[in-house]
Amino acid sequence: MRTVYLDHAATTPVHPEVIAAMLPYFNPMYGNASSVHGFGRKGRMAIDNAREIVAQAIGAQPNEIYFTSGGTESDNIALMGVAEALREKGRHLITSSIEHHAILDTCAYLEKHGYEVTYLPVDVDGLVSPDDVQAAIRPDTILISIGHANNEMGAIQPLAEIGAIAKAHGVYLHTDAVQSFGTLPIDVNELQVDLLSLSGHKIYGPKGIGALYVRRGTRVRPIQFGGGQERKLRPGTENVPGIVGLGRAVELAMEEREARVEHMTRLRDKLIAGLTAVPDVTLNGHPEKRLPGNVNISVKYVEGESLILSLDLRGIAVSSGSACTSGSLDPSHVLIAMGLDHLQAHGSLRLTLGRDTSEADIDYVIEVFPEVVAKLRAMSPLYNRLEREE
Ligand SMILES: *Cc1c(COP(=O)(O)O)cnc(C)c1O
């Protein structure tokens, strides 16, 4: 059976060149990068090289990049680390109601420990309003955290405008750029962000590696303790193969960025047109201000979970919302925040394309999708009742 992977927002296949770059660092170059001998020095050099690549990709300096275990950890260090460092200045944070759970759950933890969090709403397209950010800032606000692009419905936030507001008020701005990094051009000075999270496995790198950008002079405390690695902000023996893999993945992303964007945008728009041609199927998220690889739809009178399972039987891998909440039957907090009702939110489907998605993949999905929807609707009591009434 044909298989089509359309879940690149959950994770991506590791690029063969990334694997090739990593392999020597498992063996023979397995030294601990903190060791003084030759084995150690080879690891250290590889880390320094990767740090330069990541820094250059976002217009930062190498000493502003800290390697972490991924997007989740970067988000945790950013929020908890700033909260801890600035607790005497204030205990108020601003974020949005559509953030990834790595942000929302960290905010919930902070709320239990004496901090206050404002969750900004979004409009029907999933966009945060810079005016709302401005209005939410208080004298005790210490951090604003707004994701660059949403992992569920792909909306791209007006981050530079938010950055200007944060700067004018002297409040730090963090962004979770896990979904946008490698696809959208990112310059930390143009966006005026002080902290930025990124992850390896969303850009054809390995899982379990990521980075946090921290602008020089930004106050942030570590949230774990041990050795002196990553200038004590993220102690623990460095994941040298992972860091090398992240570096190579970033290099490839920068080389291929424009070609990837063009390829994914064209196929995405073809997929959107094909899927929304089915009656009662609507697109969620801003039609233009969205990630090149993201399609999010609501299919009325059908459960998202049934759709996923039926498509999986036909070899098509998609998801509902984020991989982290799949398995729970709660409707997406993102779609609910955009004002969708529970029926629409429950019938939502996310299809995310990648550099390896082909035209034939998209044609196959467009062919199979109407059959699967028709079959499921035929079994839906609600749909049948409405049909009889018409
Ligand atoms: C995947 C993802 C994360 C988590 O990154 P990990 O490297 O898997 O921990 C955080 N934020 C967003 C927006 C993501 O898409």
Atom from ligand 1 closest to the CA of residue 199: 7
- Candidate list 324, 343, 366, 386, residue with the active-site label: 324
* Residue 326 pLDDT exceeds 60: no
Whole-number pLDDT of residue 1: 87
CATH 3.90.1150.10 fits 4-10+257-389, yes or no: yes
Atom from ligand 1 closest to the CA of residue 149: 13
Whole-number pLDDT of residue 344: 85
* Residue 120 pLDDT exceeds 50: yes
Whole-number pLDDT of residue 385: 77
The CATH 3.40.640.10 portion of the chain extends over 16-252
* Residue 68 pLDDT exceeds 50: yes
Whole-number pLDDT of residue 321: 64
> In a mutational test of the pocket of ligand 1, which residue from 178, 243, 246, 333 has the highest number of ligand atoms less than 8 Å from its CB?
178
Whole-number pLDDT of residue 388: 67
When pLDDT is cut at 50, 70 and 90, the band that residue 63 belongs to is very high
Whole-number pLDDT of residue 381: 79
CA 22, CA 125: separation in Å to the nearest integer?
Answer: 40
Any alpha helices (H) in the chain, and if so which ranges? Answer: 16-22, 38-57, 71-85, 101-112, 130-136, 159-168, 188-191, 240-276, 304-313, 333-337, 342-346, 359-378, 381-389
* Residue 327 pLDDT exceeds 80: no
Confirm whether 324 is a catalytic residue. yes
* Residue 169 pLDDT exceeds 70: yes
Long-range contacts of 34-43 (CB under 8 A, 24+ apart): 34/227, 34/228, 34/229, 34/237, 34/238, 43/238, 43/240
* Residue 196 pLDDT exceeds 60: yes
**Gap from CA of 324 to ligand 1 centroid (Å):** 9
Indicate the pairing of strand 141-145 with strand 116-120.
unpaired
Q: Is 71 in the pocket of ligand 1 (CB under 6 A)?
A: yes
Least confident window among 34-43, 257-266, 276-285, 317-326:
317-326
**Gap from CA of 177 to ligand 1 centroid (Å):** 9
> In a mutational test of the pocket of ligand 1, which residue from 12, 79, 103, 176 has the highest number of ligand atoms less than 8 Å from its CB?
176
Least confident window among 198-207, 232-241, 296-305:
296-305
Classify the phi-psi angles of 125: left when phi > 0, otherwise alpha if psi is within -120 to 50, otherwise beta. alpha
- What does the mean pLDDT of the chain come to? 95
Whole-number pLDDT of residue 134: 98
**Gap from CA of 295 to ligand 1 centroid (Å):** 18
The CATH 3.90.1150.10 portion of the chain extends over 4-10+257-389
- Which residues contact residue 91 at a Cβ distance below 8 angstroms, ignoring those fewer than 6 apart? 83, 114, 115, 116, 140, 142
Q: Are 173 and 194 in contact (CB under 8 A)?
A: yes
Percent of the chain with pLDDT over 90: 91
Q: Is 242 in the pocket of ligand 1 (CB under 6 A)?
A: no
Residue nearest to atom 3 of ligand 1 (CA): 71
Whole-number pLDDT of residue 220: 98
pLDDT in tens, 227-282: 999 999 999 999 999 999 999 999 999 999 999 999 999 999 999 999 999 999 99
Q: Is 199 in the pocket of ligand 1 (CB under 6 A)?
A: yes
**Gap from CA of 153 to ligand 1 centroid (Å):** 14
Q: Is 97 in a helix, a strand, or coil?
A: coil
Whole-number pLDDT of residue 380: 83
Q: Is 72 in the pocket of ligand 1 (CB under 6 A)?
A: yes
Whole-number pLDDT of residue 324: 45
Amino acid sitting at position 77: I
When pLDDT is cut at 50, 70 and 90, the band that residue 386 belongs to is confident
Residue nearest to atom 10 of ligand 1 (CA): 71
- Which residues contact residue 294 at a Cβ distance below 8 angstroms, ignoring those fewer than 6 apart? 9, 153, 154, 268, 285, 350, 352, 353
Whole-number pLDDT of residue 323: 47
* Residue 78 pLDDT exceeds 70: yes
* Residue 328 pLDDT exceeds 90: no
The architecture of the domain spanning 16-252 is 3-Layer(aba) Sandwich (3.40)
**Gap from CA of 14 to ligand 1 centroid (Å):** 16
Q: Is 178 in the pocket of ligand 1 (CB under 6 A)?
A: yes
When pLDDT is cut at 50, 70 and 90, the band that residue 387 belongs to is confident
**Gap from CA of 77 to ligand 1 centroid (Å):** 14
